[in-house]
Chains A and B, each alone.
Chain A
Amino acid sequence: MRKLSTAPFIHTLRGTQYIYMCIALALIPPVIHAVFFYGLRALVLIVFSALLSLLLSGFVHGERDYGSVCEGVIFALMLPPGTSIITAAAGVFVAQLLVKRMFGGMGSYCFSPIAFARIFVEMAFPYDMGGFDSELGMRWFELESLFWLGGDGAGARISDYSMAELMAGRFSTFIGTGCALLIIIGMIFLLCSKSVGMRAPLIFLVTTAVAHFVTDIDLGPTDSLVSTLVYMMTSGILFVAAYLMTDPVTVAAYGWASVVEGVMAGIALPVISTKCSPIIAMCVTVIVVNLFDLTVRYFSDIMRRCRKAGDA
């Protein structure tokens, strides 16, 4: 067969590197929040995870996979501030070597390596993952206390904070999942850059919010609404939607599949949340959606063949 052409001779500027660059840029606001709130320690953890991911992916795949840098950063941002580097390294090893390498390789892995690694460290290092130690001694060069009045928030409950404080992420949570405002800025950037499909994550958020509102409706509409808003801002669901549900490899970016997956995740999350901790529930939900995506692709092939047979 004669190769007719090498056309086209121009390509979109939105290559893989552009996509990962956009994701990296969208991660800057949560990283800033992490460093601002948890100090240099958080920065060390983030940089360490990113570099180790890049190193391992280069070692495993033989080429630089800039997507792994984003994965390293996202993974680090989902860790508690007191996490040790050894725990982070273990998670990165699992993500890059076990999930990405063994389950399809670069661009073809079947479920989110970050979600799997996060579940792994939660189960393997329960003590390290157990708390949100916010003693000043644990925060190297932390900047947050320069700007905020009052205490450091250790031991405080969510209900103790105002809505503004919750929005700003000034409460004990994982390194980068706290500040809803900055995560929303990251989401808006991703949406505007059109680098990743945002349909599934947005539908996921809407479904979750509706499900939460309906579940709490017996509190009354106003309280239920406040409860839903607080949940959306503090649970880390915004972070999961923005950075885990936008992975084009494991979640459908376009078409009806993205709608179904978004709705399914929103329905599955409250069910799974009754069985385990919120962060594990969200990671399990992501993995369930990833596996569902595999199924959808399989059945869409079958449907296509059926349609073809019907046409014939």
Chain B
Amino acid sequence: MYFRELRHTAYRGFSSDNALDFSKRSSFVREVMLERVFPTRVIIPLKQHYGDPAIPIVNVGEHVTIGQCIGIPEENAFAVPVHSSISGEVTEIRDITLPNGVTCKAVCITSDRKRTYHKSVYPRSNIGISASEFMGIVKAAGIVGMGGEGIPTIAKINRARQAKVREVLVNCLQSEPYAGSDFIRITDSADYVVMGAVALAGAVGVTKIRFLISDKRRNEIDALMNSMQMTAGEYSGYSFDFVYYKERYPQGYYRMIAKSLYNMNLEIGQSVEEECQAVIFNVSTVYACWEAVADNLPLIARIITVTDEENKGHNVWAPIGTPVSELLDTVNGISVTNNEIIWGNCLTGLPISDPNNTPIIKTTSGITVVRKTQISKLPCIHCSSCYEACPMELDPGYLYQLLKCNESIKAEDERVLKCISCGACSYVCPSGIDLTSVIASYASARRNTNSYAYASTERIDISSQGLMDAESGEVTEPVKYFDGSMLLPFEEGKRI
């Protein structure tokens, strides 16, 4: 037996039958297809993560190559490096405001159409590296949580080590309508996902890995199982485990996972690592970690679902910084006239007005085009649909009325700050009341996360600079001891 345990656990999910299962509507399910996008230019923001921005280390007119470091963290800053995703010439370094409100510098690069990789990027001949080396690679590769929150992965690893977690959870629970980037990542590169999970487990210092996945995703489950069987011989000390969930939105949110797996109701300020002794990594992040190890490639590209409501759309592999307009050009027949372009997915995304100058970043999992429709707003009929749909068991209708009447203290008594901005209440409201924008805006503002709309910043304290230290703590659980010379992970770059 290559792996210690492969257990099918019972279905888990919301207790409410009214929770949202978008897979039931065939129009929300996109054909899995992967194309590569080679943009003519990229706009790479130097702050694509939760924390501080990097500072540019390239000049206008300079020629850069794929994987070359173009931005490094300032000293003692909670930041990760940024790398060029195409080869070409730096044409401009300017300020940019992203749809999520982040304002930072961005490096604009025009492609030379050569796709030249930096000299540091090549397949690593020996992937047997120690945990501390792995952490150094993850930090230097600029890997951040790709599920949407954008927390630097190195910070998560360190926090998990401090909390002495017992298991690693790989989050494969992507459940928003149209979204499919994580699933194609699994089917396309299941071996990298499995090996990345092992590497992360080794770095965190645990041997137990659990994949959280919807029971409807049979192809992805089969792909992961095959990869485990093929690769597990090299990692016989680790145990793999599947946890099957009902297809529900937003089941992949960390609080929902904590509740379903550990029966823990996480309050504001509590983290999965400390309360549940587990750490959650998004499946795309896990892949990126192993890509950094195996191919010595920093995080320069990701899979994005590009779609509209007319059943046109697919998944594309796109370099970070690709303008949205160039992504939309890859989908035949997609029209932006009289439509709204969403940076992200249609339940949690943000509208954009200038697709030519809005890039995708490390946390963007989708670009969605929806019809501009005026929802007729009627008075609340007290149907309780919003209450039933709310994954945090809030009463959105009541909270909405309190906030409209400026009764913010009462609203906080009713736990308004626990709102996770999932949009479920507004989605189900038959009267078309815009509950989410009122409640989520208040909750987010009170949590002081204006700069990052959907981040639950209470999970990571950015003043804890030690979390960004790749060498912090004593490494006790190696992935596999390295017996040869160590390749330098990436070019560190020079400060200008």
| Bound-complex Cα distance A9 to B341 (A) | 10
Report whether B348 and A249 are in contact in the complex, using a CB–CB cutoff of 8 Å. Answer: no
Q: Please, how many residues of chain A have a CB less than 8 angstroms from a CB on the other chain?
A: 34
Which residues on B sit within 8 Å (CB–CB) of A145? none
A17 and B431 CA atoms in complex are apart in Å by 8
Cα separation A54 to B141 with both chains bound (whole Å): 64
Q: How far apart are the CA atoms of A1 and B443 in the complex, in Å?
A: 10
Interface residues of B (CB under 8 A from A): 18, 101, 177, 309, 340, 342, 346-351, 368, 370, 375-376, 378-385, 387-388, 398, 413-415, 421, 423, 426-432, 434, 436-437, 440-442, 444-445, 450, 453
Flag whether A221 is at the interface (Cβ < 8 A). no
A254 pairs with B348, CB closer than 8 A: no
Asked whether B431 lies within 8 Å of A107 as measured between CB atoms, the reply is yes
* Docked CA distance A10–B426 (Å): 9
Contacting residues, chain B, for A157 (C-beta < 8 A):
none
* Proximity string of chain A (93-119) to chain B, C-beta cutoff 8 Å, 1 when within and 0 when not: 000000000000111100000000000
Q: A2-B450, A7-B423, A106-B379 are in contact. Are A15 and B432 (CB under 8 A)?
A: yes
Is A137's beta carbon under 8 Å from chain B? no
Leading 4 A-B pairs by shortest Cβ distance: A107-B379, A8-B423, A248-B383, A8-B347
Given contacts A4-B421, A8-B347, A301-B398, 7 further A-B contacts (CB under 8 A): A5-B436, A7-B346, A9-B342, A10-B177, A107-B378, A253-B383, A308-B415
Closest to A7 in B: B423
Per the bound structure, the CA–CA distance linking A133 and B383 in Å amounts to 39
Check if B430 sits within 8 Å of A10, measured CB to CB: no
Give CA–CA (A8, B440) in the complex, Å. 11
A197 partner residues in chain B, CB cutoff 8 A: 383-384
Q: Can you list 21 pairs linking A and B with CB atoms under 8 Å apart? A: A1-B442, A1-B445, A4-B437, A4-B453, A5-B348, A5-B351, A5-B421, A6-B351, A7-B348, A7-B349, A8-B347, A9-B346, A10-B347, A12-B430, A15-B432, A16-B381, A18-B430, A67-B381, A107-B379, A255-B384, A308-B414
| Among A107, A252, A254, A301, contact of B381 (Cβ-Cβ < 8 Å) | A107
Closest to B25 in A: A13
Q: How far is the CB of B59 from chain A (nearest CB, A)?
A: 34
B384 touches A9 (CB 8 A): no
- Contact present for B382 and A1 (CB under 8 Å): no
Q: CB-CB < 8 A to B347: which residues of A? A: 7-10
Known contacts A7-B437, A8-B436, A248 near B381 by CB under 8 Å? yes
In the bound complex, how far is the Cα of B376 from the Cα of A8, in angstroms? 15
Cα separation A248 to B434 with both chains bound (whole Å): 19
CB contacts (< 8 Å) of B382 on chain A: these are 107-108, 248-249
| A307 CB to nearest B CB, Å | 11
Q: Mark A2-30, 1 if CB is under 8 A from B, else 0.
A: 11111111111011111100000000000
User: Please, which residue of chain A has its CB at the minimum distance from the CB of B18?
Assistant: A254
Which A residues lie within 8 Å of B426 (CB)? 7-8, 11
**Are B430 and A15 in touch, CB under 8 angstroms?**
yes
